[in-house]
Structure 1
């Protein structure tokens, strides 16, 4: 089999199965594992997949800028935001991550009792400008414009000084083995620090983020309190996540 044929086969399998196990594919094709690993390395260098220990995963799709993302999967994000907002209780300190799903959440927060929202995203703070009962604390730092969040030493110092009751974390990808990931190193470190200083971390996920991986790991999936997912996902898609013991709320 020619190299181009092998790579085309790998791409098809990755799209169908959501992963490549180098050892299994080598045995199936009666090739050396080194040959398959070399193909995977070359495809990763070309930006076609993400290499992981023992094989490969699909790359999470490149994210458009923040304003463009606001028009993607809006109904799904609104439903996830409503479910998350219903978890907020009077007097709580809630940390809202940046992102378009958490922006939808911010617009749906309860308006009949008081609570505090901490965020390192100026766009989230602006969503709450006219909220009647939410006290808003904005964390400063270096602005990562792609996600419209503060990162860096100043942000981390402030975050370490708080204790949130709930943290709604935004991620670009979630995988049962490779965990919760995002596309920027400093952003991953910031998210990890927020989770370390929160009593509960919930992750709202639109369906295209499942089974994928981005370059920078935030946390193992099991470190999250739970996942908020759209309804109607196939049971075999959810099974690997349920096996980790993470609470899953659909709806």
Structure 2
């Protein structure tokens, strides 16, 4: 098999399995360990997969701006947002952090819903302002333009003054063994603090964000109470259930 064909087949296998080991690839393609190592290194350098110890995983969604992500998987995000509404309790303290699915969630909140909502996202704040009975608390800090959220010491300090009932977490990548991860250390630290400040953690996530991970860990899978997703990957979802993550299917 030619290198180009083999590498294409590796990517197709990853798209299906999400993670592969070097030993599996050596056996499947009947080639040497060095050959597979070179293939994985080249594909990693091209940004087509992520190399890990003894294998590779499929990469998650590309790192883009908030506005660019708003137009991606819109129908799925809106359906997930609608399913997530049931976890918002009236007259409670709710934290909704940045993320495009959370943006659509803010839009879906009923006009007569009464609660106090905290957010570090100006985009989400604008949607919440349209809801007559919501009290809104915005978190300050350094504004990260790409993610369109506030980060930094001010944000962490403000979170220390709350005991949040429900945290709706914006998900970048979520892996059953690694947990919720981000490509940015600052964002991961903020989310970690948010998780520790909340009684309940809800994770709305489209299927492309599951079974993959980035470099910086926000929390373990066991710290997430509820996953709301459109994923149909039964094998992967069973792994989340083993971590005591309840699943709401869209």
Please report the TM-score for the alignment, with normalisation by the length of structure 1: 0.89
How many residues are matched? Answer: 250
Partners of 2:85 and 2:5 lie apart in 1 by: 49
CA apart distance, 1:177: 2.5
User: Which stretches in structure 2 are left out of the alignment for 5+ residues?
Assistant: none
Deviation by residue 1:40-67 (Cα, 9 ceiling, x = unmatched)? 2333233221122331111113143222
Q: Structure 1 stretches (4+) deviating beyond 6 angstroms?
A: none
Q: In structure 2, the residue corresponding to 1:199 is in which secondary structure?
A: strand
Match of 1:184 in 2: 184
More displaced stretch, 55-64 vs 126-135: 55-64
Q: Judge conservation of contact 1:86–1:109 (CA < 8 Å) in 2.
A: no
Q: CA RMSD in A?
A: 2.2
Match of 2:44 in 1: 44
Partners of 1:36 and 1:73 lie apart in 2 by: 33
Deviation by residue 1:36-95 (Cα, 9 ceiling, x = unmatched)? 334323332332211223311111131432222222222222222122222222221100
Match of 2:247 in 1: 248
Structure 2 CA distance for partners of 1:108 and 1:28, relative to 1, 3 Å? closer
CA apart distance, 1:240: 2.3
Match of 1:239 in 2: 238
Please report the TM-score for the alignment, with normalisation by the length of structure 2: 0.89
Partners of 1:121 and 1:135 lie apart in 2 by: 15
Residue 102 (structure 1) aligned with residue 124 (structure 2): no
Q: Judge conservation of contact 1:167–1:200 (CA < 8 Å) in 2.
A: yes
CA apart distance, 1:26: 2.7
User: Which stretches in structure 1 are left out of the alignment for 5+ residues?
Assistant: none
Partners of 2:15 and 2:76 lie apart in 1 by: 23
Q: In structure 1, the residue corresponding to 2:87 is in which secondary structure?
A: coil
Match of 2:122 in 1: 122
